[in-house]
């Protein structure tokens, strides 16, 4: 099968982010705030794992309080299969100490400081945690 080469001056493909939160309003806000990226959103951890298995994801942002499987269990499963994918936790119910034992690459408190979110995402995608 012959494919056309990517032109040298083609714009770079945006990084693909997976955002996991059971609140539709928060997912909508994230999609708008992170509009420079391809944002895929899902409301639960099981769906997130299915999406990751089906295609590449450059970074995951997950709420801690999710139905059936919380964000801490999700990051453990991600680390087992995709150890190099950065994962950012967000929560309004837990603090930094509550997530220290888990392998998150970043933690943001709700309500989210949107500039801090953008900065953390950009840093992790550049490999500067």
Domains of the chain in start order, with CATH, are 16-126 (3.40.50.2300)
39 phi/psi in degrees, rounded to 5? -105, 120
pLDDT score for 92: 84
pLDDT value of residue 103 = 81
3-state secondary structure of 23: coil
Q: Judging by DSSP bridges, how do beta strands 87-91 and 16-20 pair with one another?
A: unpaired
Specify the pLDDT at position 7: 55
pLDDT of residue 5: 56
C-alpha to C-alpha distance for 112 and 42, rounded to whole angstroms: 18
What are the pLDDT digits (tens) for 62-97?
A: 999 999 999 999 999 999 999 999 999 998 877 666
The ranges of the chain with pLDDT < 70 are 1-12, 95-99, 128-129
What is d(CA 51, CA 53) in angstroms, rounded to the nearest whole number? 5
Q: Provide the b/e sequence for 12-25 (b: ≥16 CB within 10 Å).
A: eeebebbbbbeeee
Q: What is the pLDDT of residue 97?
A: 67
- Tokens 């950065």 map to which residue? 86
- Cα(62)–Cα(18) distance, integer angstroms: 8
Task: Give this prediction's pTM.
Answer: 0.86
Rounded CA-CA distance 16/13 in Å is 9
User: Residue 95 has what pLDDT?
Assistant: 67
């Amino acid at each position: 099968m012959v494919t056309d080469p990517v032109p040298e001056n083609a714009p770079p493909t945006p990084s693909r982010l997976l955002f996991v939160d059971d609140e539709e309003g928060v997912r909508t806000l994230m999609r708008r705030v992170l509009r420079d990226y391809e944002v895929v959103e899902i409301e639960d951890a099981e769906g997130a794992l299915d999406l990751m298995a089906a295609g590449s994801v450059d970074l995951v942002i997950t709420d801690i309080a999710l139905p059936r499987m919380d964000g801490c269990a999700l990051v453990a499963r991600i680390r087992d299969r995709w150890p190099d994918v950065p994962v950012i936790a967000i929560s309004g119910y837990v603090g930094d100490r509550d997530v220290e034992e888990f392998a998150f690459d970043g933690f943001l408190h709700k309500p989210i400081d949107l500039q801090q979110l953008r900065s953390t995402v950009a840093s992790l995608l550049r490999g500067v945690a």
